[in-house]
Amino acid sequence: MLQIFRHREPRLLVTGQTISMFGDGVANVALTLLVLDTTHSVSKLAWFATARMTPLVLLLLVGGAIVDRHSRRTLLLISDLARGALTAGLVVALATGVLQFWQLLVFAVLFGSFDAIFTPAMSAMIPEIVPEDLLGAMNAVRPFSNNVVGGMIGPAVGGLIAAWSTTAAMSIDAASFLASATALVLMHPTPKPSRVASSTMIHEIKEGVGYVRSTNWIWTTLTAVTLGNALLFTPTNVLVPYFLRHDLHAAKVTIGYFFATFGLAGAIGALVSGSLAIPRRRIRAMWMAWTAASGVMFVFGFVTQSWEVFLVPIVTAPGILYGNVVWESMLQAVVPRTLLGRVSSVDWFVSLGLAPVGLVAAGYLSSLVGVRTYFVAAAIVSTAPGLFILFSKRLNAVDAGR
């Protein structure tokens, strides 16, 4: 992993993103507490998360086509500046005392729209600036810094700052976007991807979708992942804070510490993942990790004290992260560069496609049957596809010659 920092462009990218991730970690806790304190409703918190995720999902395919037409670095810069400006606007609304819930929803929608460009642009730019033999390390360095800074330090600090001032917490996030944009400006320009000049955006989107549909291991994995994301992993960010505050009566800072524990466990997983070679049996390795991450969430149904909640991330965070490192490295090594932005956008589009619906459904169902019962049912359903893929010879055939 340390070899990544011998290269100027990856070093700048990781530095800027690390600062931005810290701001995101602070903001995630601050916004969660803000919505809970003003609405006292898990459903409203779910709607806020849905408002951010829906435009991300709906615009990802268009975002992927845009990414394969323009410089990935330029698009990342535009996305960072736009999201920084939106966050600064939220700070002004908080400071002047005019912020209402509908304004938070508008903020979330606009923020998610620029996420739809940032996400595929980041995936597509990495193989442009990183040697192929270091792709696995780079795909681990980013989540390592994300978990240490964005998932551990940021939420822990964010919980403390937000308990004092939500305005201060969101100001830190706005400044972090400016730092990330500065790092991108210092990087060398990246060229536009080569493409047929007369090709329309619709045709290019169809090319990306067609490649995914014709590749069994990609579309099957995406179909299975979308179930776990919709029912389990995405709703966790909403249900666990509510569960800690209203069922276990934990203090506000406990929510920040929970996300920090998730970050610490993920950081350890990233450190290990980045130090390992990509396994010979890639499909089986990543699905063993993802299946374990889903199954352990069954424990949420039986905890009675807040400290027991912290045991779940120890397995879940490293499992998710290791599977993601193998998956992203596999895509970046196999998919043609000219298609990578579109294939990455299809990846995110499908894997997150049901997440907005899942958030709303999780908020509604958990209010009916309770958070405990919901987690037990969701963990069982989410684990089943992974078990099927692990034992499927046809889906594992892509690794047969390795």
The domains found in the chain, sorted by start residue, are: 8-186+204-399 (1.20.1250.20)
Residue keyed to tokens 């203090």:
251
Q: In this model, does residue 198 exceed pLDDT 60?
A: no
What is the mean pLDDT of the segment spanning 104-111? 90
What is the mean pLDDT of the segment spanning 171-175? 92
Q: In this model, does residue 197 exceed pLDDT 70?
A: no
Residue keyed to tokens 């795909």:
139
Q: In this model, does residue 259 exceed pLDDT 80?
A: no
What is the mean pLDDT of the segment spanning 122-148? 82
Q: In this model, does residue 185 exceed pLDDT 90?
A: yes
pLDDT band at 284; cut points 50, 70, 90: very high
Q: In this model, does residue 125 exceed pLDDT 60?
A: yes
> What pLDDT, on the 0 to 100 scale, is given for residue 30?
86
What is the mean pLDDT of the segment spanning 337-360? 82
Range picked from 171-185, 198-212, 316-330 for highest mean pLDDT: 171-185
> What pLDDT, on the 0 to 100 scale, is given for residue 75?
93
Q: What is the pLDDT of residues 349-395, one digit of tens each?
A: 888 888 878 878 888 888 888 888 999 999 999 999 989 999 888 88
> What pLDDT, on the 0 to 100 scale, is given for residue 78?
94
> What pLDDT, on the 0 to 100 scale, is given for residue 196?
59
Q: In this model, does residue 40 exceed pLDDT 80?
A: no
What's the pTM? 0.69
